[in-house]
Amino acid sequence: MVQVLPALDAGGVEQGTVELARYLVAHGHRSIVIAAGGRMAEQLRREGSEHIDWPIGRKRFSTLKYVPRLRRLLEEIRPDILHLRSRLPAWIAWLAWRRMDPATRPHLVTTVHGAYTPGRYSAIMMRGERVIAPSGMIRDYILEHYPDVDPQKIRVIHRGVSREKYPYGYRPDQAWLEAWYKQYPQTRDRLLLTLPGRLTRIKGQEHFIEIIAELKSRGMPVHGLLVGEASEAKKSYEAELRDMVRAMGLEADITFTGHRTDLKEIMAISHVVLSLTLVPESFGRTTLEALSLGRPVIGYGHGGVGEQLREIYPQGLVQVGDKDNVISMISSCAVCASLPQGRS
């Protein structure tokens, strides 16, 4: 199988790509990933996949040069499946694939990872011989905005997490705890609330800051963690968030951790993990990871997160934007919440 995506940096698409690649290798298949490099490239190669480092998601005219290169590559390696995971790389790959011999070219599979802006550009993700929807919400999106798509070729395959990697009741070891509290002593002996995700306007970080402020005003010993970084294009938004924290006097109560590779451990010591995304997401991986660890999740009830919570943890559902309900739920839980086990 050949998987195609923009880059191998942190994110749900990248994580899913690496996990599928690992599975393919473990079961004796050849796994090739075409993407620019990134944080996860070394792991991909270490786990046995081949990485072709092409910036195939770069939004410039010169990216078209990869159309004939990719066609030649596919004709040479003759994969069974070509799996497209993002729009611009999908266009490049489709242009290469469509000129190949239909009798010998690979089967074309696409995964619609988000509710893209409807239109011709996004329609490329519907051209797979099979179209994977990671949630019922995405299947509905496809059928609503692309009525010409045959419903029979859509496959709803819910994303998942490994129970071995995210075991119920997991607690970090003492060495990790000591290192954490040395770096972030302000989080010790606090009701720890965590919002994982990239720093973008749709992820709800402003709501999170306002929730922390209200809980503090009620005298609750809370501390908020914003776990994630801003892309270069979003650095100004990160500055806005930091200004907001300063203006509300919350510098000691909210920590920006930036990108972390130990999110499992952070969620495991958190009392509540939140998902406050303002637009529906196709999946919401961290929600399922936290629930697998046994940590309570409070989330806005739409998209993939809403589907997960309704099925697994309905007591964590709130209406989109209902900050008052989030505050009420945390307040009522806090009375009986114990501090993380094994703290140093």
Per-residue model confidence as pLDDT tens digits over 332-342: 875 344 433 33
pLDDT at 231: 83
With beta carbons less than 8 A apart as the criterion, state whether 90 and 124 touch: yes
Per-residue model confidence as pLDDT tens digits over 132-183: 999 999 999 999 999 999 999 999 998 888 888 899 999 999 999 999 999 9
Per-residue model confidence as pLDDT tens digits over 1-36: 999 999 998 778 898 999 999 999 999 999 999 999
> In percent, how much of the chain has pLDDT > 70?
97
pLDDT at 56 over 80: yes
pLDDT at 282: 85
Domain extents in the chain: 2-111, 174-334
Identity at 284, one-letter amino acid code: G
pLDDT at 176: 97
Unique residue bearing structure tokens 């930036």: 258
Rounded-to-integer distance, Cα 299 and Cα 305, Å: 7
Rounded-to-integer distance, Cα 194 and Cα 338, Å: 16
pLDDT at 60: 93
Cβ atoms within 10 Å, residue 207: 20
pLDDT at 311 over 80: yes
How many residues are given for the chain?
Answer: 344
Q: Does domain 2-111 have CATH number 3.30.70?
A: no
With beta carbons less than 8 A apart as the criterion, state whether 318 and 325 touch: yes
Query: Which of 113, 170, 168 is CA-nearest to residue 142?
Result: 113
pLDDT at 338: 40
pLDDT at 73: 97
Rounded-to-integer distance, Cα 264 and Cα 194, Å: 12
Average pLDDT over residues 239-253: 97
Per-residue model confidence as pLDDT tens digits over 178-197: 999 999 999 999 999 999 99
Position 248 confidence tier, pLDDT thresholds 50, 70, 90 = very high
Rounded-to-integer distance, Cα 296 and Cα 272, Å: 5
Domains 2-111 and 174-334 share a fold: yes
Query: 174-334: what fold?
Result: Rossmann fold (3.40.50)
- Helix axis angle for 303-312 and 136-145, nearest 10°, is 140
DSSP assignment of 245-291 equals HHHTT-TTTEEEEES-S-HHHHHHH-SEEEE--SS--S--HHHHHHH
Rounded-to-integer distance, Cα 49 and Cα 44, Å: 6
Per-residue model confidence as pLDDT tens digits over 58-108: 999 999 999 999 999 999 999 999 999 999 999 999 999 999 999 999 999
Kindly list the strands in the beta sheet with 50-53, ordered across the sheet, starting from the edge strand earlier in the chain. Answer: 50-53, 32-36, 2-7, 81-84, 107-111, 130-133, 154-156
With beta carbons less than 8 A apart as the criterion, state whether 27 and 48 touch: no
pLDDT at 204: 95
Looking at every residue in the chain, the average pLDDT score rounds to 93
pLDDT at 332: 82
Identity at 198, one-letter amino acid code: R
| Long-range CB contacts for residues 96-103, cutoff 8 Å, separation at least 24 | 96/66, 96/67, 96/68, 96/70, 96/71, 97/71, 99/71, 100/71, 100/74, 100/75
